[in-house]
């Protein structure tokens, strides 16, 4: 940062601090001195005769203290850097205040409505669940137009014995398995065995009621089964004796693996469907474990899009199209376009897990999973993965991070006594938690195929935004005073508001960065690593995608803190959880985060200073929004309750049990015989 830049920042801070003090001094001067002035008027005193000049002198002195009448006031040190955004208050070398205060025609904050709607939706979801086996079968037939799978009655008893709350919500599972109805049981069995020889695919096998892991890809040097396969095998143990023999190819990586071209899914007769010639006949002899510079995930992904979509038009799929040139109902685009227009008072209704990258190819540059090094599979092979992005054909299963217990990923885990506690040893009371928004993590966020895009990955963008110390402004909208319905908007320097509310940093560098490690450290904040329990000292916990899904989400939910989650992935529980009730959804742009904090925790001091708000003179405890804090704690408690009642390991077992029944029917030659009939 150059000297002039520091100079300007310091004087602006002095200015916003001096003006309120000046206003108070002048008010006190005219009011408290009224008696003295009346006496001096009778005597024709100097004070009365020259009060106008004294006022002007006071104003001039204040501005001199702020440094705004020096020769620097009309000089923009960024003039020498035309590619850098100019300070908005310097227009053609003339001073214009960036701190405009505008009233908003808002009668109720949007977040209040979003929370009310979320509670209504989830209450309705719980109330309409089946109460009897007969009702569950009827609901199954209504939704999927066929009988439930064989063993459905045993699954129902398992669900009832374990107090499973959501017994009908398996639309995501049915969608994952739907493509396999188009191939025979024999073909599915053959493909499951074939895919097991690929690198980073482990085979979990069920034989005579017992589950074990079989690592078949010896030629790639992988002799030990992955943690995800071990975790899946552990889930099966509860009900393996009730299942027929089957094979489950488990993805050893976090990234999604299966991307089937649009034509192959919609016109299967034009592609090879018989794998009896071996996996080489399906994938080609040139298939390798990684891309090796031959292509990329994005190139494979855009082939899954409809032929008329922008992603299939080569030019628009490779250049970074401006958001203003597109339109969509997706959260990610809506936030981006609104922000381009200068508005930051919009809030995502859900995460970006359903964002349509086919319609808006420009957005793929901002998500690391499109740059994974691992080669995707372009044929319908059964691959079970912990998460998948929209457009992938993997079959979702619970993450081993969620099912198992480790110090890095489990709330309340006692690694000494090997037991799970309801309250973590490092948990703190709500009133003692920091109001700052907290995130710590590694630079994981994507691969390097092709290289050169890591600076745009999701984690890198968030850290740069949260630690930005520039003069770029953020628009903060808030009720002034806090208990009123009078909303105002002010533009606040990002360095000031970040200092007020943000605590985010990388703790570890992993992988390739375009300009090298020195540039990575220069452009992003780094700090010391912290134990998982450190998170519980903050009210706001940000959950961001890494190489794929975030393995800490369940731990965050289990805590007494509120979770702000941004993701483009769908997981097994996606049908079961409600944004704005159990967590706060955050768009992939993150920029609404400042107004989220202002709603729940009260207006940042920097925004109050810019607005010259009377709230600035309240005691610190009175500046916070009591109602907002109550609402934030309600989200924290709802998330914790969801984890205790719907995000349990037992619920994961119920999900996998039902998935196995559906998969077993597909595995059979005579699928009709694998239906459950009352």
pLDDT of residue 171: 98
Higher pLDDT, 458 or 56: 458
pLDDT of residue 104: 55
Judged against a pLDDT cut of 70, whether residue 306 lies above it is answered with: yes
pLDDT of residue 330: 36
Q: Which range is least confidently modeled, 22-31, 299-308, 566-575?
A: 22-31
Enumerate the domain spans of the chain. 3-97, 130-259+261-303+376-397+657-671
Residue range 554-605, pLDDT digits in tens:
999 999 999 999 999 999 999 999 999 999 999 999 999 999 999 999 999 9
Bond into 312 cis (ω within 30): no
Rounded CA separation 167/129 (Å): 6
In order, the DSSP letters of 188-242 are: HHHHHHHHTTSTTEEEEEEETTEEEEE---GGGT--S--HHHHHHHHHHTTTGGG
pLDDT of residue 38: 38
- pLDDT grade for 40, boundaries at 50, 70 and 90: very low
Judged against a pLDDT cut of 60, whether residue 490 lies above it is answered with: yes
Count the helices and strands in the chain (H runs, E runs): 25, 19
In order, the DSSP letters of 255-278 are: S--B---HHHHH-GGGS---GGG-
Give the mean pLDDT of 11-38: 43
- pLDDT grade for 313, boundaries at 50, 70 and 90: confident
Nearest to 435 by CA among 600, 592, 608, 584: 600
Residue range 418-429, pLDDT digits in tens:
999 999 999 999
Nearest-10 crossing angle of helices 152-161, 649-667: 180
User: For the chain, what is the mean pLDDT?
Assistant: 83
Residue range 347-401, pLDDT digits in tens:
999 999 999 999 999 999 999 999 999 999 999 999 999 999 999 999 999 999 9
Judged against a pLDDT cut of 60, whether residue 503 lies above it is answered with: yes
Q: Which two tokens stand for residue 242?
A: 């009730």
Nearest-10 crossing angle of helices 185-195, 649-667: 120
Q: How many CB atoms lie within 10 A of CB 637?
A: 14
Q: Which residues face 585 on adjacent strands?
A: 565
């Amino acid at each position: 940062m150059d000297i002039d830049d520091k100079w300007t920042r310091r004087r602006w801070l002095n200015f916003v601090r001096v003006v309120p003090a000046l206003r108070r001094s002048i008010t006190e001067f005219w009011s408290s001195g009224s008696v003295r002035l009346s006496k001096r008027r009778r005597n024709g005193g100097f004070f009365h005769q020259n009060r106008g000049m004294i006022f002007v002198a006071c104003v001039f002195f204040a501005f001199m203290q702020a440094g705004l009448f020096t020769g620097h006031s009309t000089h923009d040190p960024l003039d020498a850097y035309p590619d850098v955004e100019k300070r908005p208050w310097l227009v053609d070398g003339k001073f214009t205040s960036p701190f405009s205060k505008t009233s908003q025609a808002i009668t109720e904050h949007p977040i209040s409505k979003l929370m009310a709607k979320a509670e209504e939706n989830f209450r309705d979801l719980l109330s309409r669940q089946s109460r009897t086996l007969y009702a569950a079968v009827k609901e199954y037939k209504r939704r999927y137009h066929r009988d439930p799978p064989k063993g459905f009655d045993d699954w129902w008893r398992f669900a009832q014995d374990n107090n499973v709350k959501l017994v009908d919500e398996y639309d995501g599972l049915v969608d994952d398995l739907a493509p396999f109805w188009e191939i025979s049981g024999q073909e599915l069995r053959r493909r499951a065995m074939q895919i097991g020889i690929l690198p980073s695919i482990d085979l979990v096998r069920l034989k005579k009621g017992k589950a074990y892991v079989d690592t078949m890809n010896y030629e790639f040097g992988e002799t030990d089964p992955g943690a995800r396969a071990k975790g899946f095998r552990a889930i099966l143990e509860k009900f393996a004796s009730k299942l027929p023999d089957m094979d489950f190819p488990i993805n050893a990586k976090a990234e999604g693996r299966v991307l089937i071209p649009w034509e192959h899914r919609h016109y299967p007769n034009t592609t090879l469907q018989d794998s009896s010639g071996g996996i080489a006949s399906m994938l080609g002899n040139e298939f390798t474990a990684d891309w090796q510079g031959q292509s990329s995930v994005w190139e494979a992904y855009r082939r899954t899009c409809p032929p008329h979509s922008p992603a299939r038009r080569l030019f628009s799929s490779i250049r970074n199209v401006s958001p203003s040139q597109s339109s969509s109902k997706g959260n990610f685009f809506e936030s981006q376009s609104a922000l381009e227009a200068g508005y930051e008072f919009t809030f995502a209704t859900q995460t970006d897990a359903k964002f349509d990258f086919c319609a808006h190819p420009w957005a793929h540059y901002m998500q690391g999973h499109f740059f994974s090094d691992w080669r995707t599979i372009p044929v319908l092979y059964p691959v079970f993965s912990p998460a998948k992005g929209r457009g992938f054909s993997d079959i979702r299963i619970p993450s081993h991070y969620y099912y198992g217990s480790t110090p890095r990923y489990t709330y309340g885990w006692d690694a000494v006594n090997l037991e799970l506690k309801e309250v973590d040893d490092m948990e703190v009371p709500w009133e003692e938690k920091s109001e700052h928004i907290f995130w710590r993590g590694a630079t994981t966020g994507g691969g390097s195929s092709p290289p050169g895009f890591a600076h745009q990955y999701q984690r890198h963008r968030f850290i740069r935004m949260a630690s930005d110390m520039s003069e770029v402004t953020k628009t903060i909208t808030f009720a002034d005073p806090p208990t009123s319905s009078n909303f105002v908007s002010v533009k606040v320097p990002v360095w000031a508001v970040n200092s007020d509310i943000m605590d985010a940093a990388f703790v570890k560098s992993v992988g390739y960065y375009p300009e090298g490690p020195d540039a990575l450290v220069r452009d992003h904040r780094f700090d010391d690593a912290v134990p998982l329990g450190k998170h519980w000292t903050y009210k706001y916990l940000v959950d961001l995608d890494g190489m794929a899904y975030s393995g800490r989400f369940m731990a965050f939910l289990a805590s007494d803190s509120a979770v702000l989650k941004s993701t483009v992935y769908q997981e097994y529980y996606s049908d079961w959880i409600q944004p704005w009730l159990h967590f706060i959804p955050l768009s992939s742009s993150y920029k609404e985060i400042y107004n989220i904090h202002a709603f729940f925790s009260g207006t940042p001091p920097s925004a109050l200073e810019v607005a010259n708000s009377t709230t600035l003179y309240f005691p610190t405890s009175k500046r916070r929004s009591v109602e907002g804090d109550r609402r934030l704690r309600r989200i924290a408690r709802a998330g914790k309750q969801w984890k205790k009642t719907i995000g349990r390991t037992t619920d994961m077992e119920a999900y996998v049990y039902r998935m196995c029944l559906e998969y077993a029917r597909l595995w059979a030659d005579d699928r009709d015989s694998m239906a459950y009939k009352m």
